[in-house]
Structure 1
């Protein structure tokens, strides 16, 4: 086995046997990988919190082919502000779930890893997040996924929007203009509130587009729980 070290975002973890963890990671140098942490749940030297989803970590692994064993872990950032806010947490978990479903094992994508860290840092740093802007952040993420995978076809998207209403295209252009021209995040969020219903609809259109073109099944309704807490 060889020893490798890389930065990762923890996508999910699963308990195994009495003391082990199976962890899915999106890494900077090796793409998406699954690694086993043997005995970590009973170890006095290791803390399972370091392998919680949403953590950015530096991890040392034993590697043999596509089999990875966790040797050492160091937390770089745990995005604590996301964990304190249900709105931020919903969209962040949706982002992690989408990456887990879209990307294959050992598919190297260092540029997108950096973009993912940038997205999570942005969400974490927001002083608050209003409902309309929450959907705008999701929309921006889906657009990035489409660009990264070479499926962002503005002509096809325009045709899809026209099937419902022609003014959808105009609204989409207005949203892009707001994000580009607003002077501060507060102003942007206030303006986006006027487009909340449309943003929810366009997110579903983009999501369906991604699912169809990438043969996957991401679903935002599993993560956004507005009907439960009344927003």
Structure 2
């Protein structure tokens, strides 16, 4: 049995039996891991809370083949501002769900782990999150996934945009320039408000592109339903 220690983002957890937890982790050194924390729900409250989704933790695991048991866990960072804000929470949970579906087990990806921590930290410290900018953050995350997975094809995406409307390419270039040319985050968010419908459409285009190329099923409508259905 091998003992390993690594930093992780908790993607999700599931109660098992009377006191156990099954936890899905995205780790810096070993990719996605599904591990069991035996008896933790009968342990102290701090241990249980440490394995909540969205926490960055350092875990010590015992490993036998692809079977992992959590021996120790320590919180490095919890994104409290995300948890307190429904808009931040919606897109952050969508990001975690997407990573869970896209990344396979035992696939080391330290660079993307660092990027994920950076994305969540950025969302956490935003002073506010307007509707248009919310979709821009999601769009930026999906673009990063496409680049990371080697499927980002700007020519193919441009063809998709042209089929819907020729002005879409112009709008896409405009939103990319806004964040490059403006440093004030509040001013950037204000400018993005007039692109809400377009940004929402772009998120769906990128999402469909990822689902088709990676054979997965990520779905933002599960997390931001009122924006799409008008509830």
Q: Give the TM-score band, short-chain normalised.
A: over 0.9
**1:124 has 2:124 as partner:** yes
Deviations 1:88-113 (A, max 9, x none): 00000000000000000111100000
SS in 2 for 1:53: coil
SS across alignment from 1:47: helix
Tell me what 2:142 maps to.
Answer: 142
Q: What is the Cα deviation at residue 27 of structure 1?
A: 0.1
- Residue 36 of structure 1 aligns with which residue? 36
Deviation at 1:134, TM superposition (A): 0.1
TM superposition score normalised by structure 1: 0.97
1:73 counterpart residue number: 73
- Structure 1 residues 19-63: Cα deviation after superposition (integer angstroms, max 9, x where no partner): 000000000000000000000001248621100000000000001
User: By how many angstroms is 1:183 displaced?
Assistant: 2.3
Q: Please, which runs of 5 or more residues in structure 1 have no aligned partner?
A: none
Question: Over the residues paired in the alignment, what is the CA RMSD in angstroms?
Answer: 1.5
Indicate the SS of the match to 2:216: coil
Seen in structure 2, the aligned counterparts of structure 1 residues 111 and 11 have a Cα distance that, compared at 3 Å, is: same
Structure 1 distance, partners of 2:176, 2:227, is: 28
Partner SS, residue 53 of structure 2: coil
CA distance in 2, matches of 1:46, 1:112: 28
Q: Any idea what SS the aligned residue of 1:32 has? A: strand
Deviations 1:52-98 (A, max 9, x none): 00000000000111110000000011100000000000000000000
Aligned residues: 231
Aligned equivalents of 1:229, 1:168: Cα separation in 2: 23
TM-score (norm 2): 0.97
What is the Cα deviation at residue 225 of structure 1?
Answer: 3.4
CA distance in 2, matches of 1:135, 1:103: 22
186 and 214 in structure 1: CA distance in 2 versus 1, 3 angstrom threshold? same
Cα distance change, pair 208–130 in 1 and its aligned pair in 2 (3 A): same
Q: Which residue of 1 aligns with 2:53?
A: 53
CA distance in 2, matches of 1:206, 1:49: 34
Distance 2:177 2:135 in 1: 16
Once residues 228 and 199 of structure 1 are traced to their aligned partners in structure 2, the CA distance between those partners, rounded to angstroms, is 12
Matched, 1:17 2:17: yes
User: Match of 1:170?
Assistant: 170
1:210 aligns with 2:210: yes
Unaligned runs of 5+ in 2: none
Contact 1:4 1:60 (C-alpha < 8 Å) held by counterparts? yes
Q: Identify if the C-alpha distance between structure 1 residues 213 and 230 changes in structure 2 by more than 3 Å, giving closer, same or farther.
A: closer
The question of whether the paired residues in 2 share the 8 Å contact of 1:21 and 1:38 is answered with: yes
| 1:179 positional shift | 1.0
3-state SS of 1:122 partner: helix
- Deviation of the 1:230 alpha carbon: 7.2
Question: Counterpart of 2:193 in 1: which secondary structure?
Answer: helix
